[in-house]
Chain A
Amino acid sequence: MELSRRDLVKLGILGGAAMYLPVERMARARDWRSDLRTPPKPYAYYFQRPPEIDLRAAANGEAISNLRFGMQEVSVSLLGSSAPNTKIWAYVAEHPVTKQKLINPTIHVDKGQPVEFVHGNYLPPGPGAHPFVNLTPHADKSYPSWTSVHLHGSASLPQYDGYANDLINPGQLKRYRYPNGQGARTLWYHDHGVHHTSLNAYAGLAAQYHLHDDMERDSGIPTGAFDFPLILKDALFARDGRLQWDDNDLSSFMGDVIFVNGVPWPLMPVHKRKYRFRILNASISRSFNLSLSGTGATMHVIATDGGFMPKPVKVTSLRVGMAERYEIVVDFEKCADNAEILLRSAEVKNNVDYLHTGKIMKWKVQPGVAPDKSRNELPTQFYTPRAPNAASNTTVDGVPRYMGPDEIMGLTESMAVRRRKLEFKKSDLTGEWLIGNKTWKEVEDSDYQAVVADPKVGDIEVWDLENSSGGWFHPVHLHLVDFKILSRNGRAPHPYEQGPKDVAYVGEGETVRIVAKFGPHEGRYMIHCHNLVHEDHDMMTQYRVGPQKANADDPNDPRYGDPAWGDANA
């Protein structure tokens, strides 16, 4: 009955395999959640500028006012040439001049240049067609691959705003008209399909859109070759290169690979001069707390979601919640030859961190003097805030009058005609994410008439956005309007968020007070958490500007004003 020494050795080999292999993998999983055999290494791949379509002036010097996009599944290399390709969903557009097909292009337009886009849904029809390994079986099983395109930051009419239930089903087309009447800003277009937004956006349906104006041109700040999108996004991968999805019981998605413009932890050579970076956090649930590491470089925030701040603000760190945009100017002028400057992310409460999620990208400063020092200025001021004009953000004789950033930042609490409070929380009973104890289902059940607020066009209102929980942060997005953040828990907002905003980071246990002037359009617009897992389940509601109208009587009804049609393949 006694075991020999040889037997014990053999059993030890078995026991080692049975216990050590899973435990060793578990230990590694704290560093990497992805299952890649060879995960990408930080700073091993060069930075890439996303492709661009400049509609301001085509080859013949005339601006282009229309563009056709196809939402398609494409196979791209995200993890280097030695790794398998990854299937993603993307907005694919043909460049109007070169005729080249471009994936998720950055669009450039001028203020006052209205454009019309047509989006066709050519995605695999589904249901459950998303191109990733889905570790949450409840997700995406019952819906076809419907989409809705939201130009985030644009004061569009309701039927062109990407209303969640204004769907483009597979095989359909939809027209979007963008007035581009607001001031210069970084917008982004992304999916907003009801209950699918997180999955569609994670699959890749997101890109930037830049609105330019004279204030930007006259300021001397870096533009053109020295003006770069920085689209930050985290992801998880399966061994075969497919994306993985896990929303952790409807709470959050947390990836372990950080992408900047589709490149993991890129390396970017820079010269000794100023560069402008348009940071967009396009992650599903991860926020960032950015800072520079290295000697000689400085960072100024010059613009927020809704455009320029009154003046540049020098910062050492910058918290960027999902969907927030911050334009920064990084000055490498005083850096040493070959200096390496890191963009890092410090810990953020309720993020889940892995081995390299504290890293974002690296800049390598080229030796010698910068060969081009044009557009190398950082003005001391962009504008002085002023009280808004009575006609601003209203429609006069059928012409919308948009608010300038100076008027948005000139709003004060005493101008408000009304106060409201919206509470963002999770239901202890149902596990649903609620706004004011309501979900999007109640909007659907009311035939899309139920609203949580009903300001008149031109009304100035103060809203308190309250997150009483300690467990979650909620980046809250109001469609249509830009607002000014008045306070956080009664204290002044962070210096870097004192610019026009359309997303307010409502942290754990925080109440954020905002003021906005509602308009210029009438109609129903969404409010939601931009943790897209929360939005899908079901932290979304709507407000209405102007009087209530029956759906059939409303020419700007968000679902029937200009619905998707027909056959995308025709």
Chain B
Amino acid sequence: MSTIGLHPSPRGLAAGIAASWLPRVAAALSLSAAIAHFGAVPPHLHDWWAHGAFFVVCGALQAAFAGLILWRPSAWLALTGVAGTLAVLALYVVSRTYGAPLGPHAGVPEPVEAYDLTTAAGEFALVVVLVAMLGEKARRWAMRLVMLVAMALWAGKATGFLA
């Protein structure tokens, strides 16, 4: 069994985190992201069924995560949340600067609107809160993921892959 995140708290979270307000904030942010994704299902379903399905799955996972992080906060769960939210954030940036990778409008950037920008800001805040929940060792892993995604996005911009 891996030992990541076992210190300083037994569950890999920063000391006293389970009882603190951070899981509640994370749950609220994840739930609001889920609601936002559910709200975006109809127009995406109109474009292509798979786009609509993606938003349904994404919203369902974020809603489930909100419940889990409240019920049983753990380092593994928080790390999973960081990884998943980073993936959603990266896909958002790609969809607005390169276009959806698949589907009828593949390669055509989608318009940026207040709705999706606010949702992305909430997801970024979720990453920050989840990282803050982690103990030292787990946080190191999380920050590696954060840097990996951030550098990939900036590299995409620098090379012109992302408009």
Instruction: Give the B-binding residues of A (Cβ under 8 A).
Output: 1-3, 7, 10-11, 13-19, 21-23, 25-26, 28-29, 35, 37, 133-135, 137, 238-240, 244
A1-B20, A7-B131, A25-B109 given; A18·B163 CB < 8 A:
no
User: Could you mark each residue 107-140 of chain B with 1 if its beta carbon is under 8 Å from any beta carbon of chain A, else 0?
Assistant: 1110110001100110110011001110000010
Name B112's contact: one of A3, A26, A238 (CB within 8 Å): A26
Which of B29-37, B67-75, B90-98 is the contact stretch?
A: B90-98
Q: Give chain A nearest CB distance to B122 CB in angstroms.
A: 11
Consensus secondary structure, chain B interface:
helix
Contacts of A244 in B (CB 8 A): 108
Q: Kindly state the separation between the CA atoms of A17 and B158 in the bound complex, as whole angstroms.
A: 11
Q: Give chain B nearest CB distance to A238 CB in angstroms.
A: 6
Decide if A14 touches B46 in the complex (CB within 8 Å): no
Decide if B93 touches A21 in the complex (CB within 8 Å): yes
Q: Kindly state the separation between the CA atoms of A62 and B139 in the bound complex, as whole angstroms.
A: 87
Nearest residue, chain A, Cβ from B93? A21
Decide if A22 touches B163 in the complex (CB within 8 Å): no
Decide if A14 touches B146 in the complex (CB within 8 Å): yes
Q: How many A-B residue pairs have CB under 8 A?
A: 105
Decide if B162 touches A21 in the complex (CB within 8 Å): yes
Name B146's contact: one of A11, A28, A37 (CB within 8 Å): A11
Q: Can you give 10 A-B contacts (C-beta < 8 A)?
A: A11-B131, A18-B93, A19-B117, A21-B153, A22-B116, A25-B96, A25-B109, A26-B96, A28-B163, A133-B105
Q: Kindly state the separation between the CA atoms of A29 and B97 in the bound complex, as whole angstroms.
A: 11
Decide if A22 touches B149 in the complex (CB within 8 Å): no
- Of A3, A17, A135, which is in contact with the most chain B CB atoms at under 10 Å from its CB? A17
Instruction: Give the A-binding residues of B (Cβ under 8 A).
Output: 14-17, 20, 22, 46-47, 86, 89, 92-93, 96-97, 99, 104-105, 107-109, 111-112, 116-117, 120-121, 123-124, 127-128, 131-133, 139, 143, 146-147, 149-151, 153-154, 157, 160, 162-163
Q: Give chain A nearest CB distance to B99 CB in angstroms.
A: 8
Name A10's contact: one of B105, B123, B143, B157 (CB within 8 Å): B143
Decide if A25 touches B163 in the complex (CB within 8 Å): yes
Q: Give chain A nearest CB distance to B88 CB in angstroms.
A: 10
Nearest residue, chain A, Cβ from B117? A22
Decide if A35 touches B109 in the complex (CB within 8 Å): yes
Name B22's contact: one of A1, A37, A134 (CB within 8 Å): A1
Contacts of A25 in B (CB 8 A): 96-97, 109, 112, 163
Nearest residue, chain A, Cβ from B99? A35
Name B132's contact: one of A1, A19, A29 (CB within 8 Å): A1
Contacts of B14 in A (CB 8 A): 1
A11-B146, A21-B157, A137-B47 given; A238·B22 CB < 8 A:
no
Decide if B96 touches A21 in the complex (CB within 8 Å): yes
Contacts of B127 in A (CB 8 A): 11, 14
Contacts of A35 in B (CB 8 A): 99, 108-109, 163
Q: Kindly state the separation between the CA atoms of A380 and B162 in the bound complex, as whole angstroms.
A: 58
Q: Kindly state the separation between the CA atoms of A138 and B149 in the bound complex, as whole angstroms.
A: 36
Decide if A239 touches B97 in the complex (CB within 8 Å): no
Contacts of A26 in B (CB 8 A): 96, 111-112
Q: Give chain B nearest CB distance to A306 CB in angstroms.
A: 41
Name B96's contact: one of A2, A14, A22, A239 (CB within 8 Å): A22
User: Which A-B residue pairs are the 9 nearest by beta carbons?
Assistant: A26-B112, A17-B153, A22-B96, A14-B150, A1-B14, A13-B150, A22-B112, A18-B89, A14-B146
Q: Kindly state the separation between the CA atoms of A37 and B161 in the bound complex, as whole angstroms.
A: 10
Decide if B92 touches A18 in the complex (CB within 8 Å): yes
Contacts of B97 in A (CB 8 A): 21-22, 25
Q: Kindly state the separation between the CA atoms of A35 and B149 in the bound complex, as whole angstroms.
A: 24
Contacts of A37 in B (CB 8 A): 160, 163
Decide if A133 touches B108 in the complex (CB within 8 Å): yes
- Of A2, A21, A133, A137, which is in contact with the most chain B CB atoms at under 10 Å from its CB? A21
Q: Kindly state the separation between the CA atoms of A238 and B163 in the bound complex, as whole angstroms.
A: 11
Name A1's contact: one of B17, B121, B157 (CB within 8 Å): B17
Name B124's contact: one of A18, A29, A240 (CB within 8 Å): A18
Q: Give chain B nearest CB distance to A36 CB in angstroms.
A: 9
Contacts of B96 in A (CB 8 A): 21-22, 25-26
Nearest residue, chain B, Cβ from A239? B107
Q: Give chain A nearest CB distance to B101 CB in angstroms.
A: 14
Q: A1-B20, A14-B89 are in contact. List 6 more A-B contacts (CB 8 A).
A: A3-B132, A14-B147, A17-B153, A26-B96, A135-B105, A238-B108
Q: Kindly state the separation between the CA atoms of A26 and B97 in the bound complex, as whole angstroms.
A: 9
Contacts of A14 in B (CB 8 A): 86, 89, 124, 127, 146-147, 149-150, 153
Q: Kindly state the separation between the CA atoms of A478 and B82 in the bound complex, as whole angstroms.
A: 63
